[in-house]
Structure 1
């Protein structure tokens, strides 16, 4: 474990963890013409999210929600409630379009529509997580032009192109990696069994990874999707994760924007030889 004197994080912390959520409602399903229900009625927002927010409040954790801009006007009360509770609203594309597959015009249009939707709801973005986990080469310039200060893709932690802070995520720290059939190929790439995994397996990996970050220092992003919290066993994993990160006094648990701001203002703390 790094000592307080050698830690790059603000005293008295030796490591940093952000709890994050992705996907607000039915944005992606509507994009794919796969939502046969009333717009604005997704159970992830009406049922699962309130319970998640209750747990975050219980453990006094402020999170970052990477939400599609399309959803901001569909769930304005939810957006206000998130902001009012101290959680960050960050950008996750307009309608969860796979970012690395966009052409230049499509990418520019997503920025335009997203910023228009955000302004209408009083949301000011400083962070972006690309749906699918990867950005394009041209994305960096556009992010800079639009005032984005950090990005949370797959990749390496640090200060990236255009001076934008990179707060990466690891697929294994994402509930979808363990719970969804369509992630079988990614599980195989990571040396895991291809079939959907039991929540206990996710919990065991996650608890071990949290303890490792606490021991060695560094940054970790944890990612849960409200629409996947469909059983008591999955909610147990969520609560255990929140409890674990909240009980470590040496860990700075904060929204991504606060951690990115520290990294941006203390680049010398994160330089590697």
Structure 2
């Protein structure tokens, strides 16, 4: 058995009914699609590095090559495949990279919320969370960005407290780790992400991602583009069998090498040609789910 096959067996257990699946005979998705997929990106510029004081003082703010070089190339590739994405950006970055934000919106992509400066959301106190909402949505209003949804840095929210604040601020969805569903209390649609569908899970060699990989039963060492490519191909086939939803995540700052770029190219070509997939930004998926609750097994 090859190393890739061993990894796939570890990462992709036998199919079983889960909360992310639809068990109804008729597809709940538009145009009879078997499943829905959102292509997403996270992190815009130096927000987190400035917060953690790890950004070099000698490097000017607003010159991040991930934003100025990698992102335009990604946007051109998305346009070539006619795919609309969701970019979860920190509110701190809106005035720092106004041209990038304007370009995203002009090309039809969704700009969603990723905290003010990529704060680990689960660690925020009630007062800190409320303050983060206030200053983030004030920045969004100033820069004419209307947030429909939120992806919490670190992957976890503060339960009903966060959901209540999202509803209060007019959001329709949240994208944490977890299961595809609708929160019964707030009506917020849950559009989850999963670590194995994130490029950083395969590429980053930090202690955080070593620990996450270990929790998922795979090598602590970074695995590489080939493993990520094969995982995504398998995961896409699985979500179609499940009839559910999956969010895949690429970070522009990690799409900085040609072999990683090839994974992105392969993935976009694959999903753009697959007639069994409804590929849509998170806000469109949330709107559809909210308007068609009776079609889902929530």
Alignment partner, residue 280 of structure 2: 254
Aligned-pair distance for 1:230? 1.7
Segments of 5+ residues of structure 2 without an aligned counterpart are 1-20
User: What secondary structure does 1:162 align onto?
Assistant: coil
For normalisation by structure 1, the TM-score amounts to 0.97
Aligned-pair distance for 1:3? 11
Alignment partner, residue 264 of structure 1: 290
CA distance in 1, matches of 2:68, 2:32: 38
Contact 2:45 2:93 in 1 (8 A): yes
Contact 2:22 2:296 in 1 (8 A): no
Aligned with residue 66 of structure 1, among 69, 88, 98: 88
User: What secondary structure does 2:79 align onto?
Assistant: helix
Answering whether residue 55 of structure 2 is matched by residue 35 of structure 1, we say yes
Alignment partner, residue 204 of structure 1: 230
Aligned-pair distance for 1:4? 11
CA distance in 1, matches of 2:89, 2:23: 36
Q: Deviations over 1:82-139 (max 9, x none)?
A: 0000000000000000000001111111101101110111001010000000000211
Aligned-pair distance for 1:2? 8.5
Alignment partner, residue 231 of structure 1: 257
Q: Deviations over 1:148-184 (max 9, x none)?
A: 1000000010101401000001100000111111200
Aligned with residue 13 of structure 1, among 25, 33, 38: 33
CA distance in 1, matches of 2:246, 2:22: 16
For normalisation by structure 2, the TM-score amounts to 0.89
CA distance in 1, matches of 2:136, 2:163: 16
Answering whether residue 142 of structure 2 is matched by residue 120 of structure 1, we say yes
Q: Deviations over 1:223-252 (max 9, x none)?
A: 000000121000011111111111111211
Q: Deviations over 1:12-46 (max 9, x none)?
A: 31210000000001100010111121110001001
Q: Displaced runs of 4+ in structure 1, greater than 4 A? A: 1-5
Alignment partner, residue 116 of structure 2: 94
Aligned with residue 145 of structure 1, among 160, 168, 190: 168
Contact 1:16 1:251 in 2 (8 A): yes
Aligned-pair distance for 1:216? 3.1
Contact 1:150 1:257 in 2 (8 A): yes
CA distance in 1, matches of 2:91, 2:23: 41
User: What secondary structure does 1:94 align onto?
Assistant: coil
Contact 1:177 1:187 in 2 (8 A): yes
